[in-house]
Amino acid sequence: MGGIVLTDGISRVVLAPAGWPALGFPTRIEVATGPFSASIEAEAWDYRRFLDALHRLHETLVGEAELTFVEGGHSLTLTGNGRGGVEAVIMVGDGQSPCYAFLTIRMTLDQSYLPGIIQTVRREFVPHS
């Protein structure tokens, strides 16, 4: 299983299942952009809600689908512009208090990514949907 893969030719983000659900859904987040890369184990709060928002985004091409994590420094947000463009913003943090370090990746995609993301979320993260 490959997980959710987002790339714009410059940056790459992969979210893959990393274990059995507990408080959240264990997810491995792998990000790479320019000279920076990171691999993080985190627990996503609610893939079901993310999947529902992805469906709405695919149908209307406007709005936002956001996946947040128990560890507050990580998120994936897809925002539709109403004309077929989709901006992906991926944020990961190191969790080190009091001086957090964050890596934020922005990608400009289009709606053609959405069916594959929906299918992957349904298959690998919300199998009983």
DSSP 3-state helix, strand, coil percentages of the chain (rounded to 5)? Answer: 20, 50, 30
Centre a 10 Å sphere on the Cβ of residue 28 and count the other Cβ atoms it contains: 15
* Tally of domains in the chain: 1
What's the pLDDT score for residue 106? 96
Q: Can you spell out the DSSP letters for 66-121?
A: EEEBSSTT-EEEEEEESSSEEEEEEEEE---SSS--EEEEEEEEEGGGHHHHHHHI
Question: What is the total residue count of the chain?
Answer: 129
Q: What is the pLDDT of residues 28-65, one digit of tens each?
A: 999 999 999 999 999 999 999 999 999 999 999 999 99
50: domain CATH number is 2.30.31
- Rounded to whole angstroms, the Cα distance separating 79 from 86 reads 5
Range from 8-12, 23-27, 51-55, 83-87 carrying the lowest mean pLDDT = 23-27
Q: What pLDDT sits at residue 73? A: 84
* Domain range enclosing 121: 4-125
Q: Which residue has the higher pLDDT, 121 or 20?
A: 121
pTM across the whole model? 0.91
**Long-range contacts of the stretch 90-94 (C-beta < 8 A, 24+):** 90/6, 90/13, 90/29, 90/31, 92/29, 92/31, 92/38, 92/40
Mean pLDDT rounded to a whole number for the chain: 91
Say which amino acid occupies 93. G
